[in-house]
Structure 1
């Protein structure tokens, strides 16, 4: 079921702070919508995680692939 999550809820699910969520939205990496406060749909959040698996999003304007360590 699709729901709208507030930024604090998105941050909790991504295990980051609210500022990082706002950065991701501002950069266009995560699509939000504003209905009073900024919100993100659960479908968009799921798609975001699939699209960005294996990437370093520390700087959303300079996304890098994670290096895989092979022993």
Structure 2
């Protein structure tokens, strides 16, 4: 799996969890850029991503992400 393929799958997860088909993520997208991506939804998004990709993130990894690109880097590293 490459970063572009992972981005497409993560984008679909965000659309489903946040119930918003208009979401279009890119590598630089952060929580500030997406309506309804608050701290509560962040947990739900991380859990959904972990389930989908069958990976587990540490609290440290999650806290250091500045954008979607960094999340994707962690996904690819764990696959």
Larger RCO, structure (CA 8 Å, separation 6 or more): 2
Q: Of Structure 1 and Structure 2, which has the larger fraction of its residues in strand?
A: 1
Fold shared per TM-score above 0.5: no
TM-score (norm 2): 0.28
TM-score (norm 1): 0.30
Larger Rg: 1
Q: Of Structure 1 and Structure 2, which has the larger fraction of its residues in helix?
A: 2
